[in-house]
Structure 1
Amino acid sequence: MRAGKLAVGVIIGFILFTLMVVVILSPSGEDPCRPDGGVSAGGGVPAGELSLPLTEGDYTVSSTYKSADRPGHRGIDLAAADGTPMYAMAGGVVTAAGPASGFGNWIVIDHTIDGAPYSTVYGHMWDDGVAVKVGDTVTAGQLIGAVGSNGQSTGAHLHLEVWDGGRLSGGAETDPQPWLDRAVTPGSGSTGTPSEPKDELRKKPTPPAGGEMPDTDKILSQEHLQVDSVRIGRAVALRFPGVQTIGGWRATDNYPDHPSGRAVDIMIPDYESTEGRELGNRIKNYLLAHKDEFNIDYLIWRQMYIPAQGQPNEMEDRGTPTENHFDHVHVTTDGGGMPTAGQKYGSAPTGGDNDSSESAGGTAAADCAPDFDDRSLNTGEIPEELRKWIALGGKVCREVDSPLLAGLLYHESAGFQAQAVSPVGAQGYGQFMPGTWAVAGAKVDENGQIAGPPGSGSPSDPADAAMASARYLCEIAEGQRAGIADGTLTGDPQALMLAGYNAGPGAVQQYGGVPPYAETQKYVQIVPAEAERFAAA
């Protein structure tokens, strides 16, 4: 948001994205959030691992790093058949993709690993062997291209380089062999097999019922449930076939929700896995997106109490995963009374499919939005006057938690400087340009709620600035959900949101992802890295 060429884009982009109207269609019951069924192109690797750039067994090392016969060789050559699939070694942002002197074509991916910047470089692809573009956010093990013999090459191979500090930002090359030694085969996933979610987690939703939702035997003890609880159980069973069990009525409990028939517990298969947590997040998001239709009172998921109205808060530690709601999503409804003879429950809300109210309101892709894992805040380095507001700002929406907001404000203001002013006039903790503050800023009350007209308050006030930055991030994220769901926007949702803050939402829409601006490319890596310092262990 700071560079001169980006400042105008922020203002224009803010206006453009607030006018966006999008309808998401989900033909044939296909999962609108994961239209590929959840299988990444490269199969992925276990979390935290590096990926080999070529599948083990598909290549041989034909030239090493700065060998005696090639002391100027900055990388390693991996000989492989022309057209062999090529994968990203680590997650990051593509900062170069296309023609390059000597390489024929190259791909440069910038990474942040353990807080430090690195680049991996892939060379000698044919023109049709580059499968990514500048601005794409990739994951470790993702397919990025194919081996070729373009440029200064005497045979098909991948020329691989690793740069400490970044290839295009003044870093220094380093031997790639240690990276190869610790890398795993692409497609190894989390269990050493191709990285597809377990069958029960990756099933596509059943096409939504045009009228009455079918009954389901997945709801246990359904007989004593009130209407709202039955409606939720049927909708979840229909839209999320991975769910196999939904707890219902029970005669006794410490709380009246289940004995009264007002609550259900949606059990999450393999809840400790990435896929299980994602399934629980999506169910929670789906229910919140349609809380009024379902008459929801509150939810509990992964130790977070989430009321239909008001701010979520972390519950006390009750001991077991079940008591802390890590293995199920608890939903309490208003009730709706006991079912009558011939009771009808209607169709399941779908978040799209010609629903005009959603095309105007923006909840069409709400159940596709990403979630943080409810990180708590480490306040050690945060000035006292900001702590309350960063904590409140982290509850505005699910895309923004307190550590991310802290990292953004820290980076923007060069260390939480209230009076920070950039060379182009961006001001305060969140470095708002005056024109952006005029539409996105506002004075807030002691609870963080807007208490003045647009443009009131001050970007140097801890409360006004922190809450304005949080609201602006959340507005950007909401405006991007539909594009993420339908593929108009590609890349990591968090990176897209941060790119919108830095370069303007309109620029992200224009490029269909993180814009190819050097400042923005760095920004989407630096802010999450800064956020880690403010996340409690």
Structure 2
Amino acid sequence: MKPAALAAAVFVMLTLLTVFLTTMSDTESTDCTPRQSGSVVVEGVPAGQLAKPMKTGDGQLTSSWRTSNRPDHEGMDLAGPPGTPIYALADGVVVAAGPATGFGQWIVIDHQLNGQLYSTVYGHMNDDGLLVSAGDQVKAGQHIANQGFNGVVSPPGPAGTHLHFEMWEGGRLSGGNDVDPTPWYERAVEPGTAGSEPTTPAPTPPPSAGAELAALPASVGSEAHFQIDTVRVARAVHAKFPQVETIGGWREQDPYPDHPSGRAADIMIPNYTTSEGKELGNAIRDYLWTNRAYFNIEYMIWRQEYIPSQGTPSIMDDRGSATQNHFDHVHVTTVGGGTPKPGQLYGGLPNGEIASPPDASDDCTLSGPVGDSGGDLAEGAVPPEFEKWLTISATQCAEISPSLLAAQIQQESGFQPNRVSPAGANGYTQFMPDTWAAFGHPVDENGEIAGPAGAGDPNDIADAVMAQGRYDCYIADYLRPKLASGQVTGDPIDLMLAGYNAGPAAVEQFGGIPPYPETQAYVPSIRSSARLYEAT
């Protein structure tokens, strides 16, 4: 090492030590509008109702109870992306939660239903996917776990992610017998409907609602993998707005379940930078919002504005590009409605006067103090090959900055490749294999995703730093509604860092930074050392 480089290294180490011993004051609040399109973890159902173990749009039935090809199959399998929320069917007591043969991890809950003991069983969660413990009392629709691929799944790994759900009459651990869970699933309601009157799922609109919608032409897009509600939206937009040339939305891999589950459509706006393009996007937004109940729309995003079907729209943070900010397309997420069946009818075009959604709110704040995440990089503070990627990655959400990401990498690997922790975490940003399989995309020279999750290289700087920011932002999004409800308390950035170290489920379980010594030290170390990397 050259003398100048050695002196610089000594200065950096001394400054790190000095900064680590300083304290930070947390004074400001931050915007709490959504940062990404993806399902919100919702909980609870109306009193007296059962809850589906997964939201209809998040879980695809892949195997039923005791079929001819699987006569010993004791439950039903619902497949979705890793991390998809799992909910308790009914009020009850957790009697088992942890490792189980074949399941990898399972949860068993005992319930009193119709005056009789029943158990529900939930299987295949990953090691960090359990949110309850034996002895806990749970409510119908409570978020109890996140979907994984532990245990015996086919195919093995993330591609085999699913929830195995069982119903046992007489109790799973009390000598009972398994029964077909399908009737119970079908009478259950969607999680997150607490506070509303008990309702039944809305039927598919009849073909008498105008002429039956024509199929989407191949030149415009493909309906393959779309659920019923999404097909209806795509067909209606094509019929109503012939200017639209491209409608897409399905992709196999994504950190959030909307696109892989077939619940999301992306309506591309031609000439979106012109006044005509903006007016077209506005017209599509207004048409869909006016008929949101007919189309079973959960939310939309257009020109950086998040528009829920219920509640007030809000402005999202700048994510750095026209596509990420939804300026070139209208994103629509539907409830889903399930996989279309042969001969499926979708109804016709709804009619009536068109209205606009309410104005967006820009004053939404999270409860609890929020510290500054840091700023741009100081010249020469990091190895030069990292500068570009730290800057690009930090545009993914408001909670991260180049200096904060740099401090994380210093803590995780010291900017060195091929590091493997005793627990098996790997690469520059020290991802566990399961987490890398969900977030580790390869990226192009602009930081855009260029391949499926898990196909990236954790020892490639671009792939690793973009995945780091992607995962940080996922954790921030995951915890945001829990902060707003008071279920989790603390500084959102501290909680995000804690989730990176210990897993977001642990933050949720403990209602804040987990009491693990490593995590307790990790958070203040990064918050303090981030100042070293920040331009003054």
Does the TM-score normalized on the shorter chain lie above 0.5?
no
